[in-house]
Structure formats: structure tokens, C-alpha cells
Homo-oligomer: A and B are copies of this chain.
Amino acid sequence: MTKCVMDTWQQIPYFAKLKPESLEHIKEQSHRRMFAAGATIFSEGERCAGFHIVVDGLVRIYRVNPEGRLHTLSLLRPVSTFNEVAAVDGRHNPFNAVAVTQAEVMILSHKCLMGLLANEPSLLENYVQQLAHLNRDYLERLEDMTFRSIPSRLAKLFLHETTYADQISETPTKLTQEEIAAILGTTREVVGRALRGLLNAGLLRKQGRQIFIADRTRLEILAETNTMPTCIER
């Protein structure tokens, strides 16, 4: 168990190359919390919940718009971190986090994190690099939402499952259309139609209830150019 936790810490890019004693400090100061499936971990707008690490289970990060529609920003499995921004600036949480399955989470408070940052330059350096990475990621999403059609976003989702865990991938998706809709920022019916479109066009393929990638090349064209590639026929 302890061994398992040690591995956990070392996989986290924020904590790479730290002095052993710093890592010890981090371990000592962090708290472990368990969440039942469906339980809220923290909510948007509340005061800073600190730095979170998914040790076990699946965590959904999402926002809600005024009309009540959801936008799933990410689905996180071990070992991932979240709320890094609020953890470092101490302001309100920028989104909601819920445990999708039962989940184990390690938490480091804003205060502890600040103390650690002050005494460990490597941590600070890592933090800058990771925030830069996060920034690039957000910018790409921003462009996706600004410019890409739903079928194109859907193609992209199938192509790089990485962002949203390996739940959706060439190996079939376990995500419901409702969940996909929340990721793409649209509604269930629209996802259903887009899915049907890609199936009819032969970019995806269905076996029973599971969907696979049938034509990666054309799926990539759709994802990159936002244009449905010419069909084989006609």
C-alpha cells in the first residue's frame, strides 16, 4: 500500500526531480479522502479546495452553464492531478469535481503548497512548465469550440482518447451519448446524429453496442479540416 502510494507520487510531473525530503514533506502534509460514486469532491466558486491527485477511481471535472447544460472538461483516472490553478493562486475553484466511481483522492491545501513552493525551487519550476502545458491544452480546446463542427469534434474525441481517459478509443467506447454530449458541449440527440453520420460514412463501425474506428485516415481528415472527406462512392 505504501509502496503503491510512493509510485503514485513519482508519476506526477509536478513532483519530478524533487529533493527526497521535499517529497517526504509533501506526503506528510497531504490528506487522503475517499468519495463514493457520485459524490461531489468540490464545487465551482467555492473557496480554494487545494491541489488534488486522483489515486484511484474516475473523476469528472465539469462546468454548468446558466441553462443547466453541462460541459465535461475532463475525465481523470489515476494518476492525474486537478485544480492546480486554484491550488496555486488561492482563489475560488474554477470548476466542479465529482467522483464518477468510488474514488480515492490525495489533497494538498493551498497553504501547504505555498510553503512547499517557497522551499523547493524544483517544484516551482515544474509548476511553471505544467501550467504552460495546461495553457496550451486550453487554447486548443478553445479553438475546437470556436471553429469545429460537432462531427469534427466527435472525430477528434475518438482519435485522441488520451484527454478523456481511454474510455473512448479504438477499443470501444463505454461513454454514453449523454456523456459524449457533455464533453463536446452539445446535446444527446446531436451526438446521436453525428455518430450515425460517421457510421454511415464508414469512418466508424459498430459491433453490437460498441463503436470502433473503421477508417482512421478519413477520421483524421475530418478532425483536422472540419470537412467530411469525400465518400468512396460517387
Contact across chains for B88 and A224 when beta carbons are under 8 A apart: no
Q: Mark A117-139, 1 if CB is under 8 A from B, else 0.
A: 10001001101110111111011
**Chain A contact residues: over half helix, strand or loop, or mixed?**
helix
Contact across chains for A226 and B142 when beta carbons are under 8 A apart: no
Tally of contact residues, A, Cβ under 8 A:
39
Contact across chains for A143 and B63 when beta carbons are under 8 A apart: yes
Q: Which residues of B contact A143 (CB under 8 A)?
A: 63, 65, 71
A85 within 8 Å of B (CB atoms): yes
Q: Give Cα A133–Cα B131 distance, bound, in whole angstroms.
A: 10
Q: Which residue of B lies closest to A88 (CB)?
A: B132
Interface core residue of A88, A91, A128, A129 (most chain B CB under 10 Å): A128
Contact across chains for B65 and A147 when beta carbons are under 8 A apart: yes
Q: Which residues of B contact A225 (CB under 8 A)?
A: 66
Q: Give chain B nearest CB distance to A114 CB in angstroms.
A: 10
Contact across chains for B139 and A95 when beta carbons are under 8 A apart: yes
Q: Can you report 22 A-B residue pairs in the complex whose CB atoms are below 8 A from each other?
A: A63-B143, A65-B147, A65-B148, A66-B147, A66-B225, A66-B226, A69-B147, A85-B135, A88-B129, A88-B132, A89-B129, A89-B133, A121-B124, A124-B128, A127-B128, A131-B131, A134-B135, A138-B139, A138-B142, A142-B145, A145-B146, A146-B185
